């Protein structure tokens, strides 16, 4: 069953490596599963990702796009943390 998703931390790490490490990016384009395993994403998670996520493909984006995507992901997590409702006690 292909119903796995990357955690926020895993996705951030993946985007960081794709942005900062050209060698990793080349390996990811050829063998996404092996590259994700290389950065510590569990094999069980990788095995349960949708098949399209594991197919070799050229990343048709530049470094700036990867950097911006990583920042959007980081900012979204910050907004989620900041918007958490804090329970209040009433007497």
The pLDDT, as a whole number, for residue 22 is: 92
Distance between CA atoms of residues 18 and 91, nearest Å: 52
pLDDT in tens, 28-50: 999 999 999 999 999 999 999 99
pLDDT in tens, 10-26: 988 998 898 889 999 99
């Amino acid at each position: 069953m292909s119903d796995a998703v990357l955690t926020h931390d895993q996705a951030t790490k993946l985007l960081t490596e794709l942005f900062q490490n050209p060698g990793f990016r080349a390996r990811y384009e050829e063998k996404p599963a092996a590259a994700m395993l290389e950065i510590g994403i569990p094999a069980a998670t990788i095995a349960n990702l949708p098949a399209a996520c594991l197919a070799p493909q050229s990343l048709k984006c530049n470094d700036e796009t990867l950097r911006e995507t990583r920042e959007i992901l980081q900012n979204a997590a910050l907004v989620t943390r900041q918007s958490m409702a804090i329970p209040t006690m009433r007497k």
